[in-house]
């Protein structure tokens, strides 16, 4: 059967991709489309809202809906927990806590978390393994204020997973980049110094309070992939 909001979304997308409605032009109002398709305005609204979320059209009150001039495609990436990512490849996950100490953070880290550089934070180095091979080297700065009185045993449960279980659904930002392996990264991952590594950096807050900053140096060959 036809007429659902998904069909309407598909039809509108078709008219846009065939240039029937070229980039930049106003498309008919919800009411006009509802009449054309013989459905309620809410149904058209739902379809157009989804297209707006995908970046295909831009909507503004009173101004109407227009085809996006610059098709800024939005891709959604899934950011899984490392253990899960390893297991999804059919490999066994393991990890070693290489270092855990209190240190004053370097200035870039402190500023990114919005903390004074003198405040000592927990500094943790963890190496994650896939089938015993180095998979990703995690260096993490952790705000001690968010930890309970007794420090959890991070040799048994990875910091990552402790965090998602205990301070989950915080907000933050992620950045991806490439960098040559530092001496330490080369040593731990077993690659040559300067080898191209995929780097994920993530900082996390909860209600204005900084929680953690983590840098993941992935072993060579790592890719992050998604469909558009």
Partner DNA sequence: CTCGGCATTATGTGCAGACATAATATCTTC
Partner DNA sequence: GAAGATATTATGTCTGCACATAATGCCGAG
DSSP annotation of 144: G
Kindly state the tokens that stand for 139: 């260096």
Chain positions 185 to 204 lying near a copy of itself, rule: CB under 8 A, are 194-199
d(CA 199, CA 201): 6
User: Which position among 55, 108, 144, 190 is part of the footprint of a copy of itself (CB under 8 A)?
Assistant: 55
CB of 165 to DNA, least distance (A): 24
Beta-carbon contacts of residue 71 (< 8 Å; ≥ 6 apart): 23, 55, 56
User: Which position among 12, 21, 43, 138 is part of the footprint of DNA (CB under 7 A)?
Assistant: 43
Kindly state the tokens that stand for 184: 């330490």
Q: Which stretch binds DNA (CB under 7 A): 27-35, 89-97, 149-157, 179-187?
A: 27-35
Which DSSP helix (H) or strand (E) runs through 182?
none
CB of 114 to a copy of itself, least distance (A): 15
Taking the chain, what is the end-to-end CA distance rounded to the nearest angstrom? 27
Residue 111 found at the interface with a copy of itself (CB under 8 A) = no
Residue of 57, 74, 56 lying closest to 65 (CA atoms): 57
Nearer to a copy of itself, 15 or 119 (CB): 15
Sites of contact with DNA (CB under 7 A):
1, 3-6, 29-31, 38-43, 45-46, 48-49, 52, 59-65
């Amino acid at each position: 059967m036809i007429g659902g909001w998904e069909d309407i979304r598909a039809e509108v997308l078709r008219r846009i991709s065939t240039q029937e409605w070229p980039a930049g032009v106003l498309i008919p109002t919800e009411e006009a489309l509802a009449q054309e398709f013989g459905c309620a305005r809410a149904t058209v609204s739902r379809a157009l809202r989804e297209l707006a979320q995908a970046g295909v059209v831009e909507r503004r009150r009173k101004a109407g809906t227009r085809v996006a001039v610059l098709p800024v495609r939005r891709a959604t990436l899934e950011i899984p927990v490392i253990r899960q990512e390893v297991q999804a490849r059919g490999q066994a996950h393991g990890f070693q806590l290489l270092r855990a100490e209190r240190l004053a953070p370097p200035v870039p880290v402190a500023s990114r978390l919005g903390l004074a550089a003198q405040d000592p934070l927990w500094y943790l180095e963890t190496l994650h393994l896939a089938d015993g091979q180095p998979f990703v080297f995690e260096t993490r700065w952790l705000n001690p204020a968010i930890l309970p009185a007794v420090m959890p045993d991070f040799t048994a449960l990875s910091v990552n997973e402790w965090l998602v279980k205990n301070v989950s659904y915080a907000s933050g930002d992620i950045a991806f980049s490439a960098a040559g392996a530092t001496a330490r990264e080369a040593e731990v991952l077993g690659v040559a110094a300067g080898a191209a590594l995929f780097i994920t950096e993530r900082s996390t807050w909860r209600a204005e309070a900084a929680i953690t900053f983590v840098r993941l140096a992935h072993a060579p060959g790592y890719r992050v992939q998604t469909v558009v």
